Structure 1
Amino acid sequence: MSHFPGGASSSQWLRSYEAGPYSMDKAHFLGISVLLVVVLVGPFLALYCFHKRWDLRQAKQARMAGKSMQAQDFAVKVARYFMPSIRIEKHRFHGLTAKSEPMDIRFESLGLELPNGTTVLSGVTGEFKAGTCCAIMGPSGAGKTTFMNALCGKAFYGKPTGKVFINEREASIADFRPCVGFVPQDDIVHECLTVGEQIQSAALLRGEPWTTSKRAKRITEDVLQILQINHIRNTVVGSVEHRGISGGQRKRVNIGLELAADPTVLFLDEPTSGLDSTSSLTIIESLKKLGELGMTSIMVIHQPRYKLFTLFDEVLLLGKGGRTVYQGPSQGAVPYFQRLGFEIPATENPADWLMDLISGEVRSKIFPQVGTHPADWLFEAWEQNKAQVGSYFSIPRNLWTQQDDRTVLANLVEAEWHQIDVDESGFLSLDELTRLIRQCTGAEPKKNIVQQLLVAMLEVAGRDPDRDGVSREDFIGYLCSMQVAASRADILQLQDTSSSSESGIDVETFVMEATCCTPTGLIREARGFGSHLFVLSHRQLVLWWRKNSERALFLAVVAFAAVLLASMDKYICPTPLWMPDPYLNLHTALALMQTVYCLGLFGDDKQVFWRESASGVSVLAFFISRVVLNTVDLVMQTFVFVALYFMMLQPHVHFGRFFLPFLLVSFVAAGAGYFISSILPVQHGPFVASLVAFVSCGLMGHPMRVIQMMDGGMLEAVMDVISIARWSVGMSFLLIVEDQGLPPIDSIQGQQRLELEVMIPVYKDRGMWQGHGYWNSGILWLLGMAVVLHSAAFLGLKFTSRTKQI
């Protein structure tokens, strides 16, 4: 009995496919050509316009910030002209806020035991007061980084012991993650974003839910100013291959990403490593300045120069084995050890001398019996003398107050006001202020800069900015305001004039916003999924645009592959489109290209993801923001690949139906690429991706393998689950057979006719779980595979490398 429908013979059955109902006309061909041009040009043209507009806006903001900085610089010089000794604050905080509840950290018998039983940290006891700048120092192997990791809850590699107290309540620092920052030793930053973009996105991602974009901009300005990187705000960070900012600047950006979160306590792992002494001093001075806001800085540092060492309020010196040698004021360390009989040479750097001493290279003259290696004895000496450390050194009190500065400055200005106010109107006009700046600085200021300074004086005084001049009281008040320490009132009073002038925000709105945005305590609410998704999507759009050169290169490779395969199938090794072989090659090539292309989505900057995940950024938001925009690339590349092949071979089928199986292959292959990149190191990705594409398409999707494995049992089930081409090739092959039709049966070679007699029934009717027909079943299976792989990629991203996301 014949196995063909109606008992027909093979020739009669195949003849039913001879005539295809559809043929492509010129309008169809022209439409595909136009769409191809639109797909290639349209998105890039739209984004180019958006990018140019963004560039102009950034340039305007930079000019406004530059004018504000110049105006403030002139004001500083004018104040020092009248009173050279006046203490003027170098940094003004407009977004970073004073902490309503600073964090005192006390630790008792803090230690860490490794799984093999080795103790790498033993009984460290001490305290870091709120608002202080603290250093953890010691020789190699002393457990400095281990101590800091144990203190902030990142010592996942061992069992911590001891207790930690936050404001005298036993707790874990990890419980306060939204208000804690951690700066890793490696400079983990986005290489394709500018300095300003990175810091502002960090402020939005890690700020409180009510943090507005205006407040994030003010925080960004604070961070850029205090770290002295404002001049490179619009410079892309760059990488080894593409030079951007310098190593020292990159280190400061690394710190700035954490400062943008406005933390209450900041941990830093060797923030000065690899930097010269001047750059190191700049960073520590900046962090010490933030202590005025109540922020505590705790850092591991190696052998600083003595000037830098004395900047620390507190130092914790650890000996070998992770035991305490000294903990107290930095300038009290040398007197403490001198009382123990250690002498420091006159020409020796005290910081270097301390490291030599802790390592056991310096002998005590009072206790010579301890031998040439007194390291162990130092631990015992500390336990006996730690209660008396406070008496060894005390910081002298400065009795001269800011009010004294204000009084003296006011008297000096009053004495010379008649020379300043030339027309004796009682108000300082634009021309008079210009003349005064010229007299004080010797420079010729631009009119718009002087106007900016005049407006700033009026705004600080709370007067109408449209007034023509400032009174003597307003002038004195503004000069004195520059010496006011950062405080709640300072934040409300001294807003960024460039931001206010650009946004049109009034003082009342600013005060209300600042009031809402002030932290109410250590329990800080983090932003939610929606906010993270919005910020990450915007950032990803910028990153996507910056990689246009890579995108163009890959599109060129895809186009070349399409033209090559089309030329092979049409001219070199002519293969009819009503056979499955061309689609096996096409789908395998496309799957391989898309899998490899998608490896970089999570693999290229996985360390950035680990850092952001550890700070509380939503993993799901991170995943969606990247996948959605990358899907644009997938559709674009697939369309170029299929359109070029289609126009060269010109099959007589509708392009949309011809395109769909290829698009589904891209989605499944992309999911495989995402999954591989989420669980494997980046260096192993290309090899595994090639293997997956070969097995899933070229090996298990080959028509002969499909016929052999379609046994209705476990073998077929395995093939259906893991083979992409098993479904996609059947969709494309049968589409041509049914829509275009076969040539006259008598003209088909005997071998090809035999293959068609076997393959058409196998692909069309014999498959398991194919009750919806080959077309709908193929769509459902390929979509299901894509969903499963995308979900697996998300789970891999979230749950692998968990210790690095702490």
Structure 2
Amino acid sequence: MANESSNCLTGASPVDLAKVVACNHGFYCPNNTNEHPPQYCAPTRSCQAIRLLPFQNNCPEPQGIYEPIVCPKGSYCPAGGKVVIPCSKGHYCPLGTETPFRCGRLSICPPRSSRELALDGFLVALIFDLLILALVFVPTSKLFVRVIPRKAHKGLKSDESTCESQLKTIEGDIAGNPDNDPANPDSDGAESAADLQDFVSTVAEYNDGGENGLSIGFNAIGFTVEKHSKRLISAISGKFEKGTLCGILGPSGAGKSTFMKVMMGKLEPTEGFININGHATKLAQYKKLIGFVPAEDVLLPELTVRENILHSARVRLPRNQSDTACQKLVDNLISCLGLSHVQHQVVGSQITSSISSGQKRRVSIGMELVAAPVALFLDEPTSGLDSATALSIMRLLKAISRTGVTVICILHQPREEIFEALDQVLLLAQGRQLYQGPVSDASNYFCGHGFRIPARSNPADVLLDIAAGRMKIKTSFIASQDLPKILAETWEQRRDELARASVMAREIPTSECLKPIELARIASVRGALWHRQTYLCFVRAMKQQFRQPSGLLLEIGVGGIAGLLIGLGLYPYKGMHFQGTYLAPFELLSSAVDYSTVPKIGQMIALAIALAAAAPGVSTFGEEKSLYWREASVGHSRSAYFVGKVLSTIPRTALSALHFTSFYAILSTPLMAFWITFLLNMLYFYCVYGLASFVSTAVKRENGTLLAMILCLIIGAFGGYAPPLSTIQTWRLEWLWRMCPGTWLSEAYVDQTLKQVAYLYDTNTAARWTGYTLGRTPLDIAMIFLIGTAYRVAAFLGLLFFDRNKQR
């Protein structure tokens, strides 16, 4: 029933909110005095409809003469609530402002602003975008190239290096004619092969004139795959002498690659043992002194030819060598490999290659040669090369071996000159040994067993035909249907007798062989220090990013679009992301409360960042596992590689987070400070990248992106919005949610939003309803960082322990 003496618009009896005059902070109380304290009036129907809607102004006018109203947007009401003052330029005043909020120097805040249009991020992002675009239109292959003085390449031709020409003009067989040996200073070709001689002498200097060589013995070596009980190699015995060029021949499936992996320690032999310089030890213990060229070229396509080789030199040469010495050695080697005219071209991928496959092969070989190894293993080094280039490579390897380096290579159908350049040959068939010894004795050995070897034939082709069982014999001494097996048994029976008469059995005096402890000492000074390797890996990774501008720009663009979409979804809220119950005694004046929007924003941001960053995060390690395996197998610091890669991702995640936050902030205009919002978003990018990196180390490349995206969406969904964290607490499962960074992100968003309006609303009630703890944003930031770091630790452990056999 209406009260005719009522001060309320509806005529209802008012309810005193206080006994004395008391105007809450952020309210306008023009008519309240001690005689007329604040009152609550039942709202009119239209006012009630407004109050039931979230994020709307309270009724435009008080429902009674003595009813306070919250200070309207665009204005502020100083303490006491007696005046309403329009917000001045450079400030903004959201609903219920008591003291205007100062805008940033780069923000747009005209008079009567109710929210801040922060342009800080946009301007900073614009500067970086212009720099990136400038780099895109600059020839990126020249951005990081060291300018080499012309005199360093004096005499080099543009189409073919001088050393390459010199190698091709060396006539005759190196092995058969020592006068033509480029490593021999008295040879006729030594004066013309200056670059080759310089490189070879430098390698010899690094190896103390050949004193640091390795002689590798193997006795009854066998390897069986236990899972399938399949024997791949068996009963292989012999010795690779220090300073020799040795070839491993055999038809497909003969066990050549398996034998080489066993020799290098990549596979553990199931039978027999290996000795180094007469001492029972494993070659893998001296990986810093060993070079390995795999059958497939493992190169970074974004780097130039020179940069690929130079990085290997800087990381693997003795740490006391100056960068000038490294550069000079690389100059000489590039010249000898015939790569001078393409040294500043990026290697490129299989689809967009800028150099030929043969040139890639030479780059792969050069990355190992430049490290001045004491033993070098090569899996089909001449594959993909024309016959002339293949011969020049073998001649270079021959010259290197004369410095005391043990060179062992698998060869596939070598031409006659290449075969005769070898010092020793090991012939395999069906995983068994048919012959090992000097190349010159191979033909006589098989002729003695009834094989007819044509006078003008290539001995290597004949040996391969014998191993494959395709060679005709003059006698019935060997059953042709089981030829390889009987040849292997024959070799086993005569091995001891042959060993005494062959180079294979020659005993090296103890004075010429370094003991394992001495080899370990030499290996300890090889390789750059950890911080130097970290820096080199970081610089290399940054080059990769700058030379993939489309991927970088796409990633940044996706981050910006994700922020734009979330900002558009929040634009209708006009910056009012929270509305709670007014502080006592004005609770009855409250409009509809909304405690869930800020947690929902936190979850939306977590999910958006997961979608934007999961796929790029997988590529951090997933795209170059083969390179990591190759570098780890020759002694690169795995932790330095990992830290360098992680550091290189920080700039791109920061740029993605900056664009994401800029679009989100300009459209949603949250009460949070822009740079705190950016920090939280960047740290969440950091988490997503870390989790995606771990996934990339644990699964195959083709499965990594999908799995990483699913996991990142899961940790984002565990943010405490749905179901609410308060409900989770009743289940006693909060610890599970707290293991996910999304919960800490949402808590920080809630805390930063509510602390801006704590003078106006009962934020403690909101905290209890949501389940978040207020006032610990620094802890939230620290926990997001720690979880992201934990993901990276897991990623590093994944690099260490997954595919360990490929890192040996």
- Output the amino acid matched with 2:747: G
Higher alpha-carbon deviation: 598-607 or 120-129: 120-129
User: Cα distance 1:588–1:307, how it changes in 2: closer, same or farther (>3 A)?
Assistant: same
How many Å apart are 1:104 and its aligned residue? 1.9
CA distance in 2, matches of 1:564, 1:56: 36
Q: Deviations over 1:221-271 (max 9, x none)?
A: 232122222221111110023222111111111111111211011011222
Higher alpha-carbon deviation: 549-558 or 731-740: 731-740
Q: Deviations over 1:357-393 (max 9, x none)?
A: 1222234323446354332221233245446769999
How many Å apart are 1:193 and its aligned residue? 0.6
Check the 8 A contact 1:533/1:624 in 2, yes or no: yes
CA distance in 1, matches of 2:535, 2:684: 29
Q: Which residue of 2 aligns with 1:286?
A: 396
CA distance in 2, matches of 1:352, 1:565: 68
Is residue 96 from structure 1 mapped to residue 203 from structure 2 by the alignment?
Answer: yes
Q: Which residue of 2 aligns with 1:670?
A: 689
Normalised by the length of structure 2, the TM-score is: 0.73
Is residue 584 from structure 1 mapped to residue 603 from structure 2 by the alignment?
Answer: yes
How many Å apart are 1:522 and its aligned residue? 5.5
The structure 1 residue matched to 2:790, chosen from 788, 791, 794, is 788
CA distance in 1, matches of 2:796, 2:712: 20
CA distance in 1, matches of 2:140, 2:398: 38
Check the 8 A contact 1:709/1:715 in 2, yes or no: no
Q: Deviations over 1:757-804 (max 9, x none)?
A: 9754334xx45xx5x734244223322312221221222222222111
CA distance in 2, matches of 1:99, 1:714: 69
Check the 8 A contact 1:363/1:374 in 2, yes or no: no
Q: CA RMSD in A?
A: 4.0
CA distance in 1, matches of 2:472, 2:801: 52
How many Å apart are 1:637 and its aligned residue? 1.2
Check the 8 A contact 1:568/1:574 in 2, yes or no: no
How many Å apart are 1:594 and its aligned residue? 2.1
Q: Which residue of 1 aligns with 2:256?
A: 144
Check the 8 A contact 2:286/2:520 in 1, yes or no: no
Check the 8 A contact 2:104/2:118 in 1, yes or no: no
How many Å apart are 1:347 and its aligned residue? 6.1
- Output the amino acid matched with 2:617: C
Q: Which residue of 1 aligns with 2:119?
A: 33
Q: Determine which structure has more spread, i.e. the larger CA radius of gyration.
A: 2
CA distance in 2, matches of 1:695, 1:105: 53
The structure 1 residue matched to 2:712, chosen from 666, 690, 693, is 693
The structure 1 residue matched to 2:233, chosen from 115, 121, 129, is 121
CA distance in 2, matches of 1:759, 1:260: 66
Q: Which residue of 1 aligns with 2:581?
A: none
Secondary structure of 2:203's counterpart equals coil
CA distance in 1, matches of 2:361, 2:163: 26
Q: Which residue of 1 aligns with 2:189?
A: 87
Q: Which residue of 2 aligns with 1:703?
A: 721
How many Å apart are 1:566 and its aligned residue? 1.8
The structure 1 residue matched to 2:219, chosen from 99, 102, 108, is 108
Secondary structure of 1:162's counterpart equals strand
How many Å apart are 1:181 and its aligned residue? 0.9
- Output the amino acid matched with 2:294: P
Higher alpha-carbon deviation: 254-263 or 372-381: 372-381
Q: Deviations over 1:263-317 (max 9, x none)?
A: 0110112223344433332322221121222212101122222222212111001
Is residue 761 from structure 1 mapped to residue 765 from structure 2 by the alignment?
Answer: no
User: Cα distance 1:305–1:152, how it changes in 2: closer, same or farther (>3 A)?
Assistant: same
CA distance in 2, matches of 1:804, 1:22: 63
Mapping of 1:235-634 within 5 angstroms? 235-320=345-430, 322-345=431-454, 348-368=457-477, 370-386=479-495, 523-527=523-527, 528-570=529-571, 576-578=576-578, 579-580=597-598, 581-634=600-653
CA distance in 2, matches of 1:687, 1:49: 32
Mark the runs of 5 or more structure 1 residues left unpaired by the alignment.
1-8, 395-517, 746-752
Q: Deviations over 1:609-648 (max 9, x none)?
A: 1111121111221111111121111112111111122123
Secondary structure of 2:271's counterpart equals strand
User: Cα distance 1:799–1:520, how it changes in 2: closer, same or farther (>3 A)?
Assistant: closer
User: Cα distance 1:780–1:22, how it changes in 2: closer, same or farther (>3 A)?
Assistant: farther
User: Cα distance 1:599–1:75, how it changes in 2: closer, same or farther (>3 A)?
Assistant: closer
Q: Which residue of 1 aligns with 2:739?
A: 721
CA distance in 2, matches of 1:59, 1:361: 54
How many Å apart are 1:161 and its aligned residue? 2.3
Secondary structure of 1:142's counterpart equals coil
Secondary structure of 1:792's counterpart equals helix
CA distance in 2, matches of 1:649, 1:130: 72
How many Å apart are 1:190 and its aligned residue? 0.8
Q: Which residue of 2 aligns with 1:23?
A: 101
CA distance in 1, matches of 2:149, 2:371: 22
Q: Which residue of 1 aligns with 2:513?
A: none
- Output the amino acid matched with 1:234: H
Q: Deviations over 1:49-83 (max 9, x none)?
A: 99889948947416333324469789989x99xxx
User: Cα distance 1:43–1:797, how it changes in 2: closer, same or farther (>3 A)?
Assistant: farther
Identity between Structure 1 and Structure 2 (%)? 26
- Output the amino acid matched with 1:716: E
User: Cα distance 1:75–1:787, how it changes in 2: closer, same or farther (>3 A)?
Assistant: closer
User: Cα distance 1:779–1:248, how it changes in 2: closer, same or farther (>3 A)?
Assistant: same
Q: Which residue of 1 aligns with 2:324?
A: 214
Q: Which residue of 1 aligns with 2:310?
A: 200
CA distance in 2, matches of 1:711, 1:391: 80
Mark the runs of 5 or more structure 2 residues left unpaired by the alignment.
1-39, 41-50, 53-66, 72-93, 109-116, 171-179, 181-186, 504-517, 579-596
CA distance in 1, matches of 2:757, 2:748: 13
Q: Deviations over 1:519-573 (max 9, x none)?
A: 99864523331221122222223223222332122222222222232223225x9
CA distance in 1, matches of 2:358, 2:261: 24
The count of aligned residue pairs is 653
Check the 8 A contact 1:99/1:519 in 2, yes or no: no
CA distance in 1, matches of 2:561, 2:165: 62
CA distance in 1, matches of 2:286, 2:755: 64
Higher alpha-carbon deviation: 335-344 or 363-372: 363-372
User: Cα distance 1:586–1:520, how it changes in 2: closer, same or farther (>3 A)?
Assistant: closer
How many Å apart are 1:605 and its aligned residue? 0.7
Check the 8 A contact 2:164/2:335 in 1, yes or no: no
> Bigger relative contact order, structure 1 or 2, given CA contacts below 8 A and separation 6+?
1
CA distance in 2, matches of 1:131, 1:48: 51
User: Cα distance 1:213–1:115, how it changes in 2: closer, same or farther (>3 A)?
Assistant: same
The structure 2 residue matched to 1:732, chosen from 733, 736, 749, is 749
CA distance in 2, matches of 1:284, 1:369: 35
User: Cα distance 1:75–1:153, how it changes in 2: closer, same or farther (>3 A)?
Assistant: closer
CA distance in 1, matches of 2:535, 2:374: 26
